[in-house]
Structure 1
Amino acid sequence: MRETTAMNDRKLLKWGSAGTIIAAICCFTPALLILLPALGLAAWLAWADYVLWPMLIVSAGVTLFAWLRMRRRRACGVPEAGR
């Protein structure tokens, strides 16, 4: 059971980090301004801020949660999976 939880912590950290990076790229660079009109989806740009900022905040929260959880496990001496 512990190995499964440790593995889930790593997956949670990876997915949270990936979501944070993707949201940051879309929020702080003109990637959407180039990509969406090229795909014929320029009308979606009006709603981009309503989706990207919450996605960035939630993804950063998931990353922080997973990191803190892994840190607590190490402090308690719980071994990680695969080690």
Structure 2
Amino acid sequence: MNNNKLIITGAVGTVFLALCCFTPLLVVLFGIIGLSALTGYLDYVLLPALIFFIGLTIYAVSQHSKRSS
């Protein structure tokens, strides 16, 4: 996977998970499909995934800047 794909994957994942963490997007979606009992466990999954995608973006940008210099 080249650096541009890593940057795009990290940025898209970060934005998507930030929307899910900081807005009630998944809470409403889970309520609609009948899984509202699982909303208490969303933070156990979303916050580590958000940290992973932020780290992936930082890694890809640092690798991209090393190659371009």
| TM-score of the two chains, using structure 2 as the length reference | 0.93
Q: Post-superposition shift, 1:56?
A: 0.6
SS at match of 2:55: helix
- Counterparts of 2:2 and 2:32, CA distance in 1: 37
Residues 1-83 of structure 1 mapped to structure 2, 5 A cutoff: 8-75=2-69
Identical-residue share of aligned pairs (%): 42
User: 5+ residue gaps in structure 1?
Assistant: 1-6, 76-83
**Higher helix proportion (structure 1 or 2):** 2
Deviation beyond 3 Å, 4+ runs, structure 1: none
Q: CA RMSD in A?
A: 1.0
Q: Post-superposition shift, 1:39?
A: 1.3
Q: Higher Cα Rg: structure 1 or 2?
A: 1
SS at match of 2:2: helix
Number of equivalent positions: 69
Question: Cα deviations across residues 18-43 of structure 1 (Å, max 9, x unaligned)?
Answer: 11011100110111121111011112
The one-letter amino acid paired with 1:23 is L
- Counterparts of 1:13 and 1:40, CA distance in 2: 35
